[in-house]
Structure 1
Amino acid sequence: MSPRGVAIPELRERLFAAAERVLARDGAGALTSRAVTDEAGCAKGVLHAHFEGFDTFVADLVLSRFETAAALALDLPARAGEGSVVENLAEVSGAVLSLDPGLVGLAVTRPVAAQRVREAWRAGAPGFGVIEECVARYLRAEQDAGRAPAGLDAGSAALALVGTLHHLLMTGPEEPAASRERVGRLLRALVGAGGV
């Protein structure tokens, strides 16, 4: 337990990691501010001193994890011509699917958290929209390189991928390997098994 008045290095990430451990071990129903701070080894008031409330904490955790997943998508267009098209898209998809469905569901069912996430995404925070845009740009770049089918509607393919990822997150839980396999089948259908 950290003594009162002593700064805790990297507190935000420490609380986020603690929340993810609680979710993985006990499920979304067990995620409370006390469970998070107990898991992180800090006083209960620490969470409320650094976030406007538990809903803000949940929203910021979701946004943080989407930012991590979207970072891979942001890098996609620059990777055109490297590796396999299907594998590159599968890597980004895997990052999105690594989000805890319980956390995403919790953020959606808490009105304040859901509103905060929507507002952040509208303001440009990395989320499904950013991932969709990056995938479309990447597919267009791969079409230009002759590595994705010329007749592929890149925007629609990106929407199909992001819609599938959203569906799998929101309807989980499913074994991660099963979700990855379903996304792999979709990618092969979209860009073809020969999508270099």
Structure 2
Amino acid sequence: MSPRGVAIPDLRERLFDAAERVLAREGAAALTSRSVTAEAGCAKGVLHTHFAGLDEFVAELVLDRFTRTADRAAALPAKAGTGTVTGNLLDLTSAVLSLDPGVVGLAVTRPAAALRVREAWAAGAPGFDAIQASTETYLGAEQRLGRIGEGLDPEPVALALVATLHHLLMTTRPGAPYPQDRMKRLIHALVGSRTDDSGNRPRRA
């Protein structure tokens, strides 16, 4: 355990990682400031030294994980014209669904933490809106390249994809397998009728 008074490098990430391990192993009921610091190997009071309380800690954990995911989504438009449309969108869905459902669910069950998250998103913190915007930009770029059909409307397609990811995050049990096949079928339903798996528009017979 780190001695009192000694600075701990990357303390926030260390506490966040510890919280995810506690959630995965013991569930939301076991998450306390003491269980987090014990798992992180830190002094008992260190969490309250850096956060106003457990609700703020949970909110910051959720916001941090969404920021990392939104950063990955922001790279999606640059992939237009490379790989396959399906593969690129599956990479995005994998990134979003890599969010720990236990963490996301925890914020919902703690009203004060949920309020902090909603307020941060309203103020511009990266969340589902940022992921949707990146997806819409990507689809528009692929459309201009002719890799998806001209009749496809990127805005509602991006909304449908992100809304499904939100649903899966809120309903998937921790430890459940990633629904790769379900997401691939959804992507084909949204854009696959206009493209083949090579990412090119199919030729007319």
Alignment of 1:12-51 (within 5 A): 12-51=12-51
Q: How far apart are 1:64 and its partner, in Å?
A: 0.7
Q: Which residue of 2 aligns with 1:74?
A: 74
Which protein is bigger by CA-based radius of gyration?
2
Match of 1:3, SS state, is: coil
Match of 1:176, SS state, is: coil
> How far apart are the structure 2 equivalents of 1:149 and 1:36?
50
Q: Which residue of 1 aligns with 2:203?
A: none
Q: Which residue of 1 aligns with 2:157?
A: 157
Q: Which deviations, in whole Å up to 9, do the C-alpha atoms of 1:19-77 show, x marking residues without a partner?
A: 11111211222111111100000012100100111011101111111111111111111
Q: How far apart are 1:100 and its partner, in Å?
A: 1.5
> How far apart are the structure 2 equivalents of 1:173 and 1:122?
27
**Corresponding position: 1:194 with 2:201:** no
> How far apart are the structure 2 equivalents of 1:119 and 1:180?
32
> How far apart are the structure 1 equivalents of 2:58 and 2:115?
11
Q: Which residue of 1 aligns with 2:180?
A: 180
Provide the aligned C-alpha RMSD in A: 1.2
Q: How far apart are 1:79 and its partner, in Å?
A: 1.4
Q: How far apart are 1:156 and its partner, in Å?
A: 0.5
Q: How far apart are 1:110 and its partner, in Å?
A: 0.9
Q: How far apart are 1:11 and its partner, in Å?
A: 0.3
Q: Give 5+ residue unaligned stretches, structure 1.
A: none
Structure 1 runs of 4+ aligned residues shifted over 3 Å read: none
**Corresponding position: 1:137 with 2:164:** no
Q: How far apart are 1:2 and its partner, in Å?
A: 1.0
> How far apart are the structure 2 equivalents of 1:52 and 1:163?
32
Q: How far apart are 1:130 and its partner, in Å?
A: 0.4
Q: Give 5+ residue unaligned stretches, structure 2.
A: 200-205
Q: How many residues align?
A: 195
Q: Which residue of 1 aligns with 2:202?
A: none
State whether residues 97 and 176 of structure 1, in contact with CA within 8 Å, keep that contact through their aligned partners in structure 2. Answer: no
> How far apart are the structure 1 equivalents of 2:180 and 2:118?
26
> How far apart are the structure 1 equivalents of 2:106 and 2:157?
28
Alignment of 1:5-16 (within 5 A): 5-16=5-16
Q: Which deviations, in whole Å up to 9, do the C-alpha atoms of 1:69-92 show, x marking residues without a partner?
A: 111111111111111111111111
Question: TM-score, normalization: structure 1?
Answer: 0.95
> How far apart are the structure 2 equivalents of 1:115 and 1:71?
23
- The structure-2 alpha-carbon separation of the partners of 1:127 and 1:146, relative to structure 1 and needing over 3 Å to count, comes to same
Question: TM-score, normalization: structure 2?
Answer: 0.91
Letter of the 2:70 partner, please give it.
A
> How far apart are the structure 2 equivalents of 1:125 and 1:180?
28
